């Protein structure tokens, strides 16, 4: 059972956190003391099926989680920094912080330590919700009775923050062949790991349909879950506001 329960302050430990390409020493309390923070704790090996699926689901739901109130979302592992950085690059993670709990101090303080088959310290899998420095929810991923890991903790956290929340946003692009702004919009969405549907003017719809759908003549026109966002500048502003694709 976890040593820390809902309503208690987060334990204080030192770890390394990566943000925008740089690792920095940091206290867990400094990171978790303000706002609504989410941690996805990943057991070894990071490249295993369950840690991979869980990290990708947090990445996929990051906008929905932020809209529901999360200010920061992080993946934590009892790992060294090069391994975590390489793993994140291989998965193409863009919107999540990385936390290397190298000596397992935070993991032990949480009461979530385990051992690998080789006898090395590791973490149990769990999702953690922290609000203003206090534990608001802890979602272990191991099934009752020691069964296999369940990868739905990101969805459970989203429902905890907003029971009415839907899944990830859906993106649509109205584009023209040869339009450099349309090409840039496609690149930006791909870079951010966001899936989209493209509808090309002159191939899929007419110019008149473009004006009817967007009240505009220029492309691209970007839609988010059925709502018109606007042109390329509107997309760039939206990505900045939602802190999507800031990278490491």
Alpha helices in 16-123 (DSSP H): 28-32, 49-67, 81-91, 105-110
pLDDT on residue 15: 97
147 has a pLDDT exceeding 60: no
The reply to whether 171-241 shares the fold of 14-161 is yes
**Strand, helix or coil at 99?**
strand
pLDDT on residue 145: 41
Quick one: pLDDT band at residue 36, thresholds 50, 70, 90?
very high
201 has a pLDDT exceeding 90: yes
- Distance CA(104)–CA(248), nearest Å, equals 23
Q: Which of 84-93, 143-152, 211-220 has the lowest mean pLDDT?
A: 143-152
Q: How high is the mean pLDDT of the chain?
A: 88
pLDDT on residue 245: 66
Quick one: pLDDT band at residue 241, thresholds 50, 70, 90?
confident
Domain boundaries, the chain: 14-161, 171-241
In 116-154, which ranges are E strands? Answer: 121-123, 126-131, 134-140
User: In the chain, what's the furthest Cα-to-Cα distance?
Assistant: 66
Half-sphere exposure of 2 (CA within 13 A, CB side): 22
Contact 221, 171 (CB under 8 A): no
Fold of 171-241: Glutaredoxin (3.40.30)
**Strand, helix or coil at 35?**
coil
Q: Is the overall model pTM greater than 0.85, yes or no?
A: no
Quick one: pLDDT band at residue 3, thresholds 50, 70, 90?
low
φ, ψ (nearest 5 deg) of residue 105: -65, -45
Question: Mean pLDDT throughout 190-195?
Answer: 79
Q: Which of 11-25, 75-89, 138-152 has the lowest mean pLDDT?
A: 138-152
Half-sphere exposure of 244 (CA within 13 A, CB side): 26
146 has a pLDDT exceeding 80: no
- Distance CA(100)–CA(88), nearest Å, equals 12
248 has a pLDDT exceeding 50: no
Name the β-bridge partners of 135: 130
Q: What does each C-alpha distance from 197 to 53, 221, 225, 246 come to in angstroms?
A: 23, 12, 11, 22
Q: Which of 12-16, 48-52, 142-146 has the lowest mean pLDDT?
A: 142-146
Task: Calculate the dihedral angle through the C-alpha atoms of 100, 97, 1, 57, rounding to the nearest 10 degrees.
Answer: -130
Q: What does each C-alpha distance from 96 to 23, 41, 92, 125, 242 come to in angstroms?
A: 14, 12, 10, 17, 12
Residues 6+ apart with CB under 8 A from 180: none
Specify the CATH superfamily of domain 14-161: Glutaredoxin (3.40.30.10)
């Amino acid at each position: 059972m976890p040593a820390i329960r809902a309503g208690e302050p987060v334990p204080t430990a030192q770890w390394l956190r990566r943000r925008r390409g740089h690792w920095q020493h940091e206290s867990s309390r400094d990171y978790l003391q303000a706002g609504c923070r989410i941690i996805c704790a990943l057991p070894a090996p990071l490249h295993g099926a369950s840690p991979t699926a869980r990290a990708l689901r947090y990445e996929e739901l990051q906008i929905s989680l932020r809209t529901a109130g999360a200010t920061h979302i992080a993946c934590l592992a009892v790992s060294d920094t090069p391994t975590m950085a390489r793993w994140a690059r291989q998965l193409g993670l863009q919107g999540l912080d990385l936390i290397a709990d190298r000596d397992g101090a935070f993991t032990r303080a949480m009461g979530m330590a385990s051992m690998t088959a080789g006898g090395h310290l590791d973490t149990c899998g769990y999702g953690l919700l922290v609000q203003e420095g206090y534990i608001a929810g802890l979602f272990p991923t191991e099934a009752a009775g020691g069964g296999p890991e369940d990868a739905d903790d990101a969805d459970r956290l989203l429902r905890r923050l907003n029971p009415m929340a839907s899944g990830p946003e859906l993106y649509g692009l109205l584009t023209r062949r040869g339009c450099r702004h349309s090409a840039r919009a496609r690149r930006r969405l791909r870079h951010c790991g966001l899936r989209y549907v493209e509808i090309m003017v002159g191939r899929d719809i007419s110019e008149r349909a473009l004006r009817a759908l967007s009240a505009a003549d220029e492309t691209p026109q970007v839609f988010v879950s059925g709502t018109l966002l606007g042109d390329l500048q509107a997309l760039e502003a939206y990505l900045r506001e939602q802190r999507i694709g800031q990278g490491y």
